[in-house]
Amino acid sequence: MNTGANQVDAAYRLARERYAALGVDTERALATLADFPVSLHCWQGDDVVGFEQAGGALGGGLAVTGNYPGRARTPDELRSDIDAALAVIPGRHRLNLHAFYGEFGGRTVDRDAIEPEHFAAWIAWARERGVGLDFNPTCFAHPHAADGFTLSHADAAVRRFWIEHCRRARRIGAAFGRALGTPCVTNVWVPDGFKDTPADRCGPRQRLAESLDDVFQESLPPEHVLDAVEPKLFGIGSESCTVGSAEFYLGYCISRRTLLCLDAGHFHPTESIADKISAVLLWLPEILLHVSRGVRWDSDHVVTFNDDLLAIAREIVAVGNPARVHVGLDYFDASINRVAAWAIGTRNMLRALLVALLEPPGILLAEREGDFTARLALQEEARSLPFGAVWDWHCQVQGVPVGDAWLDVVRHYERDVTSRRT
Ligand code: RNT
Ligand code: ZN
């Protein structure tokens, strides 16, 4: 259904007054939202397959389920699909690439030989659109990661291979940052862990710390590249011990001044990363978020507009300085239209940020006055404030479809493009 422009207008004017009465400036909230970049993860578009010649099994405890038709098989297809998603998302955003999405011209280029030139087409694409790039070394889906260990491997030769890969990834990140004039957040996640109870948890952790120090040894300008590392609770095949656990990386980040990446699916299911944001930002200048949705485990479902997401968004806003929290998405659903999966998750992230930016100041005031009754009452009343009207207005002003009209746009693209891929 198409919502008429006049209707959107009228609804927004009423909403603006309603919020103004509560001391909320909707225009200011929208100006902040319009400038807030979300990093779209390229791997939603092709089920985390990448473009290497010898594309191996995913591994690393990651699992993509579903066989919806239309997976992007080439860099051009992936770029075209990302364009299709960006066309229905308000604002200007970023793209998060993995190392195995390089363009190797039909040659076999192993991970320890990747160069910025393999990403020239991505840089050109990003520059044309004014989009920033983020990056990740790919320490899985490779024969040297087949036994589940990479940077903490017992074999020094295997460690050296992955150290070289990660070093090159940082240089590629720096090349992105230099070319595009915006720092590239380069995030190291390794799958290393034990399926069953290890006899030695110390050794692998010491090796991981040493390998990371080797990776980060080369000093690169922070205006080009920002280093992040990502802990995890467990993965498929590493249920008993993850070498790079939360405590391991929190300590590492604080002592080495790298960014910590908090992935919403990487903690015990009753833990929320929302509560961790303010805690870790006391000790670290900046963090990276991987916004995801675990269902019973780190299942990487499409991000929905639920309480977890709202809590994350409100904590991001509460930090008061958006530059300290880099927001990326991390999920992979192959059971639905992949362009729609990006659109749904990113629009939800932005909508949740909008709700956070529109939070009535009376809630905080009540808490400061020790009136927890009023705080709860106002929090619950705020849930039904007309943020939808503000969101629709934002979409209209930003020139993207209002309401569910974006789905028709994606359906057209599916009919004309993705459904023709065999
Ligand atoms: C894995 C981590 C990691 C990956 C991507 C593909 O559990 O979340 O961030 O999902 O790098
Ligand atoms: Zn992640």
Which two structure tokens, joined as six digits, stand for 189? 């996640």
Q: What is the mean pLDDT of residues 81-101?
A: 98
Residue nearest atom 2 of ligand 1, based on CA coordinates: 189
Assigned domain for 419 exists? no
Residue 331 near residue 38 (C-beta atoms within 8 A): no
Q: What is the mean pLDDT of residues 304-320?
A: 97
2 pLDDT more than 60: no
Whole-number pLDDT of residue 59: 87
Number of domains in the chain: 1
The overall pTM is greater than 0.95? yes
Assigned domain for 255 exists? yes
Assigned domain for 45 exists? yes
Q: For 117-155, what is each residue's pLDDT tens digit? A: 999 999 999 999 999 999 999 999 999 999 999 999 999
Helices and strands, counts by H and E, the chain: 14, 12
Whole-number pLDDT of residue 201: 98
**Angle formed at CA 231 by CA 226 and CA 237, multiple of 5 degrees:** 135
Q: Is 46 in the pocket of ligand 1 (CB under 6 A)?
A: no
95, 245, 263: which to mutate for ligand 1, most atoms within 8 A of CB? 263
DSSP per residue, 268-311: -TT--THHHHHHHTTT-S-EEEEE-EEESEEEEEPP-SSHHHHH
Assigned domain for 281 exists? yes
92 pLDDT more than 70: yes
User: What's the CATH code of the domain at 113?
Assistant: 3.20.20.150
Q: What is the mean pLDDT of the chain?
A: 97
Kindly give the number of the ligand 1 atom that is closest to the alpha carbon of 138.
Answer: 11
Q: Is 232 one of the annotated active-site residues of the chain? A: yes
For residue 140, the enclosing domain spans 37-359
Q: What is the mean pLDDT of residues 165-193?
A: 98
Q: Is 136 in the pocket of ligand 1 (CB under 6 A)?
A: yes
Residue 3 binned pLDDT confidence (cut-offs 50, 70, 90): low
Q: For 359-391, what is each residue's pLDDT tens digit? A: 999 999 999 999 999 999 999 999 999 999 999
Assigned domain for 26 exists? no
Assigned domain for 2 exists? no
Give the helix ranges, DSSP H, for 35-155: 75-86, 120-129
Q: Is 83 one of the annotated active-site residues of the chain? A: no
Give the phi and the psi of residue 306 in degrees, each rounded to 5: -110, 180
Assigned domain for 406 exists? no
Q: Is 140 in the pocket of ligand 1 (CB under 6 A)?
A: no
Residue 69 near residue 44 (C-beta atoms within 8 A): no
Distance, in Å, from the CA atom of 226 to the CA atom of 94, rounded to the nearest integer, reads 15
Nearest ligand (C-alpha, residue 244): 1
Weakest mean pLDDT among 19-28, 49-58, 293-302, 405-414: 49-58
Distance, in Å, from the CA atom of 414 to the CA atom of 81, rounded to the nearest integer, reads 10
Assigned domain for 370 exists? no
Residue 94 near residue 38 (C-beta atoms within 8 A): yes
165, 189, 238: which to mutate for ligand 1, most atoms within 8 A of CB? 189
